[in-house]
C-alpha cells in the first residue's frame, strides 16, 4: 500500500466516523475538508438539497463569499454550471481543463480569487435520491485523476448516511424549536403528562399561572406534586384528568387553585400511541378567574345585600314601631333609638353605594376628563367623611401642599376613591386614633395618601388586598363589617386615570394608603 493509498483509506475511515456527528454543518464541512485535503484540491463547494431533493438548503464554500454573492453564485452554477449539470445527469464529472469545457461557468467574483482550471464534481445520493453535489477545484489543468474521482465518489457514498442522519436530526430539532415557540407563545397554560400522570412538559404560561418553576414540577406525578407543594389543587387536577380519560365526553372540567386564587377551565386531550409508554395527555388550562371573580362577586353581593339589608331594615322597623306607639301616646322618642336608627340607615347606605359602584365598574362607564381644583376634591371628600371620623373620636390631620395645580379627571369617581380610603382609615382605626391626609405634586404627579394609626394588615395577607371582595382575616378587625370591594374599585379608578395605588401597613401599628395621578394639562 503506497502513501497515497494509506491517506485514502484514512480519509474514508474518518468520513465513516462522521456517522456519529449529528450536526449538519459539521458533516458537510468535514466531508469537504477531508476530501479537499486528500485529493489536494484548492477549494471545495457543496450544494445541499432538502429532503424532497428540490430546494437548495445550504451552500458551503471554502471561499468566504458574502451572503449576496453566495446566492448569485449558487443560482448561476445550478442553472448553467457544472453542479447543475451533475444534478441533471445524476452522474459525476471530471473536467481536465475548464478553458475547454462549456459546463464550467466563470464568475466575476471568482476571477479575482481563484482561477479554476480543473474540477471534480460528484453527486450525493441518500437512499437513491439526489441530495447534493460536491465540487472540488484546482488552479492547474489536469490536476484530478480518474482515481481521485472514484475516491471522492466513495467518500460521497460514505458521507451520505451521515448526511441523512444529520438532516433528520436537523429536522427534529427544527420541529422542536417550532413546538417550543408555539408552547412559549400561547397564553393558555399547557401541560403534557405521561400515562402515569407525570409532568413531561410544561409551558411558561402554566408556570406563571401556577406560580412555580419548571424544576419544581417537571417529572413529578400530579398527586405527588399535591403533597410536595402542599396544594390540593394538583390532586384535583389529577382527579379531573383521570375522569376525562375514562370518559371522552367528559374532557372538560373546572378546577380552582385556592393558593393562587385562580379558576381554570381544563381541556384534556388523550394522545394515544401505538405503544402505551409513548402515549400522553395534553391538558390546556384556561384562566377564567376574572370571569369567576365577577360572578362570585355578584353572588356574594346579592347574599350580602339580602342578609345585611334585612338586618338593618328589621332594626329600623322595630324602632319605628316603638316610636310610632310612643308618639301616639304623646311621649318623645328616646334619642338612643334615633341614634341606632341612624346607624342602621348608614349601614344600608354604604351597602347600596357599594352595589352601585360594582354595577358601575362592570358597565365600565367612561371616565370624565375635566380639569378641577384638587382642593375642591379633598374638601368635598373631607366633608363626606368628617362626621364618621368625629363619631370615632379620631383626629384628622391635614398635610396639603399649598398652590396645587389643577388636575384633570373624573371628579365624582375620584371623590369616591378618596372617600373609600378615608372610610377604611376610620373604620380600621380604633376610637381616638389619628388619620393624616397628605397631598402634594411632584414630577408631574399628584399624590394623595391617608395614614392611620389603626390595626394594620397582616404581612401575609397584604398581596391580595386590592383583589375584589378580599378582606383580611385578623382577630382585631373581625367585628368590622365590609364587603371587600372598596379597594378594588379604588385601584380600578386610579389605574383608569393612568395612575397607581400603593400602601404600606404594619399589623398593630397602622396603614398608609395612597395613589398618584398624572397631572394632565
Ligand atoms: P372593606 O373595607 O369593605 O372590607 P376594602 O376593599 O375597602 O373592603 O378593603 C379590603 C380589606 O383591606 C379590608 O377588609 C381590610 O381587611 C383591609 N383594609 C383596607 N384598608 C385598611 C386600613 N386602612 N387598615 C387596615 N386594614 C385595611
For 99-165, give the secondary structure using H, E and C.
Answer: HHCCCCCCCHHHHHHCCCCEEEEEEEEECCEEEEEEEEEECCCCCCCHHHHHHHHHHHHHHHHHHHH
**Shortest-distance Cα residue to atom 18 of ligand 1:** 424
High-pLDDT (> 70) share of the chain, %: 87
Distance 390 CA to ligand 1 centre (A): 20
In the chain, the percentage of residues whose pLDDT exceeds 90 is: 37
**Which residue, by CA, sits nearest to atom 20 of ligand 1?**
424
| In the predicted structure, residue 310 carries a pLDDT above the cut 90 | no
Q: Which segment, 267-271, 426-430, 471-475, is predicted with the most confidence on average?
A: 426-430
Three-state DSSP class for 261?
coil
Grid cell locating 487: 379597594
pLDDT for the residue 51: 67
Residue 74 in this model has a pLDDT that exceeds 80: no
Instruction: Provide the strand spans (E) within 30-117.
Output: 43-49, 56-61, 93-95
**Per-residue pLDDT at 165 exceeds 70:** yes
Closest-lying ligand 1 atom to the alpha carbon of residue 471: 14
Expressed in angstroms, the distance from the first to the final Cα of the chain is 93
Query: pLDDT grade, residue 449 (50/70/90)?
Result: very high
Phi/psi at 266 (5° precision)? -110, 130
| Nearest alpha carbon, ligand 1 atom 3 | 482
In terms of Cβ atoms closer than 10 Å to its own Cβ (0-12, 13-18, 19+), residue 29 is: middle
User: What's the pLDDT score for residue 393?
Assistant: 94
* pTM of the predicted protein model: 0.44
pLDDT at 1: 46
Q: What's the 456 CA to ligand 1 centre distance in angstroms?
A: 9
Would you tell me how many other CB atoms lie within 10 Å of the CB of residue 351? 20
What's residue 22's pLDDT? 80
Quote the ligand 1 centre to 482 CA distance (angstroms): 8
Give distance in angstroms: CA of 389 to centre of ligand 1: 16
Q: What is the mean pLDDT of residues 485-504?
A: 90
| Residue 360 confidence (pLDDT) above 80 | no
Residues with Cβ within 6 A of ligand 1? 420, 424-425, 428, 452, 454-457, 465, 470-472, 477, 482-488, 511, 513
- Residue 478 or 64, more confident: 478
Q: Which residue has the higher pLDDT, 97 or 315?
A: 97
- Give me the pLDDT at residue 501, please: 95
CB atoms within 10 A of CB 465: 19
Of 300, 352, 428, 462, best ligand 1 pocket probe by most atoms within 8 Å of the beta carbon: 428
Q: What atom of ligand 1 comes closest to residue 450's alpha carbon?
A: 23
**What pLDDT is attached to residue 485?**
80
Quote the DSSP letter at residue 472.
Answer: -
Closest listed residue to residue 358, CA positions, set 261, 463, 488: 488
**Which protein residue's CA is at the shortest distance from atom 21 of ligand 1?**
424
pLDDT value of residue 441? 93
Q: By mean pLDDT, which of 111-115, 127-131, 209-213, 390-394 is the weakest?
A: 111-115
Pocket test residue of 389, 482, 488, 494 for ligand 1, highest count of atoms within 8 A of CB: 482
Residues 6 or more apart in contact with residue 390 via CB below 8 angstroms:
none
Mean pLDDT: which of 1-10, 166-175, 257-266 is highest? 257-266
Average pLDDT, the chain: 84
214-240 burial: b if 16+ Cβ within 10 Å, else e? eeebeebbbebbbeebebebbebbbbb
Q: Is the pLDDT of residue 347 over 90?
A: no
- Cα dihedral angle (417, 420, 421, 423), rounded to 10 degrees? 150
Tell me the per-residue pLDDT of 400-442, one tens digit each, with 9 for 90 and over. 999 899 999 999 889 989 999 999 999 999 999 999 999 999 8
pLDDT score of 381: 92
CA of 473 to the centre of ligand 1 (A): 10
Residues 389-399 have a mean pLDDT of 93
Q: Coil, strand or helix: which one is 198?
A: strand
Confidence bin at 161 (pLDDT 50/70/90): confident
> Which atom of ligand 1 is the closest one to the Cα of 425?
23
User: What's the gap between Cα 365 and its chain centre?
Assistant: 30
pLDDT of residue 212: 93
Report whether pLDDT(235) > 90: yes
Instruction: Give the distance (Å) from ligand 1 centre to CA of residue 295.
Output: 21
Region 21-34: mean pLDDT is: 86
Q: What is the pLDDT of residue 313?
A: 80
pLDDT higher than threshold 60 for residue 240:
yes
Amino acid at each position: 500500500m503506497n502513501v497515497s493509498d494509506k491517506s485514502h483509506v484514512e480519509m474514508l475511515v474518518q468520513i465513516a466516523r462522521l456517522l456519529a456527528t449529528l450536526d449538519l454543518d459539521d458533516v458537510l464541512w468535514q466531508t469537504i475538508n477531508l476530501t479537499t485535503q486528500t485529493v489536494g484540491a484548492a477549494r471545495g463547494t457543496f450544494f445541499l438539497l432538502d429532503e424532497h431533493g428540490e430546494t437548495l438548503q445550504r451552500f458551503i464554500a471554502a471561499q468566504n463569499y458574502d451572503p449576496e454573492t453566495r446566492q448569485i453564485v449558487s443560482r448561476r452554477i445550478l442553472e448553467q454550471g457544472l453542479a447543475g449539470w451533475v444534478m441533471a445527469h445524476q452522474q459525476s464529472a471530471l473536467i481536465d481543463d475548464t478553458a475547454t469545457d462549456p459546463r464550467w461557468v466563470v464568475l466575476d467574483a471568482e476571477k479575482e480569487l481563484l482561477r479554476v482550471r480543473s474540477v471534480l464534481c460528484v453527486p450525493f445520493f441518500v437512499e437513491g435520491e439526489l441530495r447534493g453535489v460536491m465540487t472540488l477545484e484546482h488552479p492547474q489543468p489536469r490536476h484530478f485523476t480518474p482515481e481521485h474521482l472514484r475516491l471522492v465518489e466513495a467518500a460521497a457514498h460514505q458521507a451520505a448516511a451521515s448526511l441523512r442522519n444529520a438532516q433528520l436530526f436537523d429536522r427534529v430539532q427544527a420541529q422542536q424549536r417550532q413546538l417550543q415557540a408555539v408552547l412559549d407563545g400561547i397564553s393558555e397554560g399547557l401541560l403534557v403528562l405521561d400515562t402515569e400522570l407525570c409532568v413531561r412538559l410544561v409551558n411558561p404560561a402554566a408556570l406563571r399561572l401556577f406560580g412555580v418553576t419548571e424544576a419544581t414540577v417537571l417529572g413529578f406525578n400530579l398527586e405527588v406534586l399535591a403533597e410536595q407543594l402542599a396544594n390540593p389543587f394538583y390532586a384535583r387536577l389529577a382527579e379531573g384528568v383521570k375522569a376525562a380519560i375514562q370518559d371522552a365526553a367528559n374532557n372538560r372540567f373546572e378546577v380552582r387553585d385556592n393558593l393562587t386564587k385562580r379558576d381554570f377551565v381544563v381541556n384534556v386531550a388523550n394522545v394515544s400511541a401505538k405503544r402505551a409508554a409513548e402515549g400522553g395527555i395534553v391538558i390546556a388550562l384556561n384562566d377564567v378567574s376574572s370571569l369567576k371573580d365577577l360572578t362570585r362577586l355578584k353572588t356574594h353581593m346579592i347574599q350580602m345585600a339580602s342578609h345585611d339589608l334585612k338586618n338593618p331594615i328589621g332594626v329600623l322597623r322595630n324602632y319605628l314601631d316603638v316610636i310610632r306607639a310612643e308618639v301616639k301616646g304623646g311621649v318623645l322618642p328616646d334619642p338612643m333609638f334615633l341614634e341606632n336608627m341612624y346607624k342602621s340607615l348608614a349601614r344600608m347606605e354604604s351597602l347600596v353605594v357599594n352595589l352601585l359602584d360594582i354595577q358601575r365598574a362592570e358597565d365600565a362607564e367612561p371616565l370624565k376628563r375635566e380639569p378641577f381644583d384638587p382642593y375642591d376634591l379633598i374638601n368635598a371628600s373631607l366633608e363626606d367623611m368628617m362626621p364618621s371620623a368625629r363619631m370615632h373620636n379620631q383626629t384628622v390631620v391635614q398635610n396639603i401642599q399649598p398652590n396645587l395645580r389643577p388636575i384633570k379627571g373624573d371628579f365624582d369617581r375620584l371623590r369616591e376613591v378618596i372617600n373609600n380610603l378615608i372610610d377604611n382609615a376610620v373604620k380600621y382605626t380604633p376610637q381616638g386614633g389619628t388619620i393624616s391626609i397628605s397631598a402634594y405634586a411632584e414630577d408631574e404627579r399628584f399624590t394623595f395618601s391617608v395614614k392611620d394609626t389603626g390595626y394594620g394588615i397582616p404581612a401575609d395577607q397584604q398581596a391580595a388586598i386590592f383583589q375584589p371582595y378580599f378582606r383580611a382575616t385578623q382577630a382585631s378587625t373581625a367585628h368590622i363589617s365590609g364587603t371587600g370591594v372598596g379597594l378594588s374599585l379604588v385601584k380600578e379608578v386610579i389605574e383608569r386615570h393612568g395612575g397607581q395605588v400603593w400602601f404600606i401597613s404594619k399589623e398593630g401599628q397602622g396603614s398608609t394608603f395612597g395613589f398618584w395621578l398624572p397631572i394632565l394639562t
